[in-house]
Structure 1
Amino acid sequence: MPDDLPARLTGLATTVPPHVLDQAAVRAAAAEMLAGGAADTDRLLTVFDSAGIERRFATRPLNVLRQPSGWRERSAHYEAAALALIETAAKRALADAGLGAGEIDAIAVVSTTGIATPSLDARLMNRLAFRPDVECLPVFGLGCAGGVLGLGRAAALARAVPARRVLLLVVELCTHTFRPDDASKSNLVAAALFGDGAAGAVVSTHPDDAGPAITGWGEHTWPDSLDVMGWRVADDGLAVVFDRAIPSFVRSDFGPVLDAFLARNGLARGDLAGLACHPGGRKVIEALEAVLGVTPGGMTAAREVLRQHGNMSAPTALFVLRDLITHGPPDGPILASALGPGFTAGFALLHPESAA
């Protein structure tokens, strides 16, 4: 593929499920769950007040989320609800790109909060008019980094064959993993942070397609860091694994890794005109602002997505990216970044057409 034909972000769309989770209502439900249990209930509940979140969206209402359920029920719900979300995301992304499903050459679906076989992309082919020879790539296990890493995987797929169009779909049902019988601090943090959502993107090397150029992508996995973030399989679902030191880890270890990625692409931190960072939580945003030299509170797009949607894991950074592009793309490079299980940092660079 010639160097003058980069992969372009031709379409980008987001979607959320119908049920709204008001943070105050979720806090009250958590207080009931903890009643008569932990001695430091009041201290534990402050995580809801300091999260920087007003509301989130879920595929099930709060009263249902509070009921215990096992793997069979959770899997059936995931298959139906995640499929419905990526169908909407696909339609919106295709419309944003001005394309039909029959013009897509490959589909990549990124998700870590459930398992489906046949995969979600195979199920989607029975709902939209994709060609039967479309290549499908289901991707599991990337966690919160899945949206950014997925963007890089989609760009690589598009670059592999001339004039290729790839539909990237990212969906997570993070509230689906909440386990009401678990009064641990990590489960409480998950209850205070997580929401559900999906994003769709069309990444293309077709000469007729326009959009920001995806000029670089990469990742870094720190050794001996498997216990920083992830899921632990429990009898009644996936239990969240969070290391409380993630913000301090960002402050001490993220900068050199970012600098190395930027240097490989001929850039430095000062060259960045836009930031689409995954808002894993308020303290993570504060740490990223410090590392990136942003005035405290200045990462407004990430903070607004967190406030209105919570942490949706993989799709969240694409929500931030869409916000940046929708409100006028910066006149220069945009950095998309996220941290996920591994412990891994994912990066992607985008240039508006005027700056590509």
Structure 2
Amino acid sequence: MKNNTSVREVYPTFLSLSSAFPKNAYLQKDLYETFGKEIYGNVAALERIIRRVRVRRRYLALDPREVLQRKVGLGERMAIFEREVMEVGGRSLEAVLRQVDRESIGSFVMASSTGYIAPTPDLLLARDHHLPSKLRRTFVGNMACNGGMNALNVALDSLVARPNERVLLNCTEFSSLHVRPEESSREQVVVHALFADGSASAVMGMEPPGVGPQVLDFHSTHLYGAVDLMTWRLVDEGFRMTLSPEVPGLIGEHIESLIETLTAKAGLSASDIKHWAIHPGGPKIVEVIGEKFGLSDSQLRSTWHILEEYGNCSSATVYLVLEDMIAKDKPQPGEYGVMLAFGPGLTMEGALLRF
């Protein structure tokens, strides 16, 4: 180890975080008055359902109102994905790469579930942003909202295996590409009101305490009996998501066990966790976790802020919450936190942090 630091004294550490979004932002109230009423006008209590989602504004690569005017096929949607992943993802990456020697990047892990191209976007981004040609790359696809945590898992393995290198991590998603006029349902109202577009990037390295947020442990829980409650499938016009209202309740049933397992190795408990970076898969999920652990408004501030001002950006969202938490809540050295994300499976994943 550099500086003669022993293995036990260094941990995987976030050295920098950055985010970027499509150029166009849309107020939820404006989308409700046009797209929402046109497609879902026969859904009972439509306005109340959309208001309950708590999203005020979203950044979108494809204006939902455009699909009211003409058919947007899968090919066009993927062409938009290819253009936007390079532009938006590129801005997010460049912000963290400016802070590091690019030759020190040994691995690049990227998660995205909202588009497909080959070569995968990580290779194209690596080329355009002058990363080493010997770079090891892993592309995490089709894992949706918890894909960012799977990317983190790969990054942790890479750092432990090669502690003298840096790891670049990126999550870039464009859920707006998959909005479609279809038979009205409460479920699809929630999906189309909740999800949004964005990109988050991080550089990680093995460092001693005090350099940045450190990942002390990681834990996954797969609820195999609930695989049909959250799905993501290809249809002719794009991808179609289903999201059962049973999901928050199941998370509530199992979240205490996940936190207990996640904190046990460090000799901690839930009461020792001051900072909660929760993926806002929906408002009910945030409420359930807040109630389970008695979290204060300040502990949930960053999660609610991201949901309200950016929406659910799938795999990128938990990093948006962490970035906002670090910038505004300013966790103190030695304080503990968690990152939590949930996705199809039903999968629940968490990382224990020390700031």
Q: When the two structures are superposed, what TM-score results if normalisation uses the length of structure 2?
A: 0.92
> Counterpart in 2 of 1:216?
217
1:4 to 1:298, Cα distance in 2 relative to 1, 3 A: closer
1:343 equivalent among 320, 341, 346: 346
- The amino acid of 1:20's aligned partner reads A
The answer to whether the 8 Å contact 1:172/1:314 transfers is yes
Which runs of structure 1 show a deviation greater than 6 angstroms over 4 or more consecutive aligned residues? 206-209
What secondary structure does 1:50 align onto?
Answer: helix
Is 1:3 aligned to 2:8, yes or no?
Answer: yes
- The amino acid of 1:263's aligned partner reads A
1:93 equivalent among 96, 111, 117: 96
> Counterpart in 1 of 2:55?
53
Is 1:30 aligned to 2:36, yes or no?
Answer: yes
1:186 to 1:297, Cα distance in 2 relative to 1, 3 A: farther
Distance in structure 2 (CA, Å) of the matches to 1:209 and 1:282: 33
> Counterpart in 2 of 1:249?
250
The answer to whether the 8 Å contact 1:26/1:191 transfers is no
Report matched runs for 1:53-132 at 5 Å.
Answer: 53-66=55-68, 67-95=70-98, 98-132=99-133
CA RMSD of aligned residues (A): 2.0
Distance in structure 2 (CA, Å) of the matches to 1:333 and 1:226: 32
The answer to whether the 8 Å contact 2:31/2:65 transfers is no
What secondary structure does 1:276 align onto?
Answer: strand
What secondary structure does 2:280 align onto?
Answer: coil
What secondary structure does 2:281 align onto?
Answer: coil
1:11 to 1:192, Cα distance in 2 relative to 1, 3 A: same
What secondary structure does 1:262 align onto?
Answer: helix
The answer to whether the 8 Å contact 2:163/2:205 transfers is no
The answer to whether the 8 Å contact 2:55/2:310 transfers is yes
Report matched runs for 1:219-298 at 5 Å.
Answer: 219-295=220-296
- The amino acid of 1:105's aligned partner reads G
Is 1:43 aligned to 2:45, yes or no?
Answer: yes
Distance in structure 2 (CA, Å) of the matches to 1:209 and 1:200: 21
The answer to whether the 8 Å contact 1:14/1:199 transfers is yes
Please identify, of 298-307 and 1-10, the stretch whose mean Cα deviation from structure 2 is larger: 1-10
- Aligned sequence identity (%): 25
- Please list the CA deviations of residues 226-257 of structure 1 after superposition, one character each: whole Å capped at 9, or x if unmatched: 11212122111111110111121122222122
> Counterpart in 1 of 2:336?
333
> Counterpart in 1 of 2:325?
324
1:265 to 1:241, Cα distance in 2 relative to 1, 3 A: farther
The answer to whether the 8 Å contact 1:232/1:238 transfers is yes
What secondary structure does 2:258 align onto?
Answer: helix
Please identify, of 234-243 and 185-194, the stretch whose mean Cα deviation from structure 2 is larger: 185-194
Distance in structure 1 (CA, Å) of the matches to 2:210 and 2:147: 25
> Counterpart in 1 of 2:25?
20
- Residue 108 of structure 1 and its aligned partner are, at CA, apart by 0.5
Distance in structure 1 (CA, Å) of the matches to 2:245 and 2:125: 38
- Residue 297 of structure 1 and its aligned partner are, at CA, apart by 7.8
- Residue 202 of structure 1 and its aligned partner are, at CA, apart by 0.4
Distance in structure 1 (CA, Å) of the matches to 2:67 and 2:339: 32
> Counterpart in 1 of 2:313?
312
The answer to whether the 8 Å contact 1:65/1:175 transfers is no
Please identify, of 64-73 and 278-287, the stretch whose mean Cα deviation from structure 2 is larger: 64-73
- Residue 348 of structure 1 and its aligned partner are, at CA, apart by 1.0
- The amino acid of 1:43's aligned partner reads A
- Please list the CA deviations of residues 79-117 of structure 1 after superposition, one character each: whole Å capped at 9, or x if unmatched: 11122222111111223xx21433311111101111121
Distance in structure 2 (CA, Å) of the matches to 1:205 and 1:297: 30
Distance in structure 2 (CA, Å) of the matches to 1:148 and 1:138: 13
1:298 to 1:205, Cα distance in 2 relative to 1, 3 A: closer
1:323 to 1:288, Cα distance in 2 relative to 1, 3 A: same
1:207 to 1:164, Cα distance in 2 relative to 1, 3 A: farther
The answer to whether the 8 Å contact 2:53/2:190 transfers is no
Q: When the two structures are superposed, what TM-score results if normalisation uses the length of structure 1?
A: 0.91
* Higher helix content, 1 or 2: 2
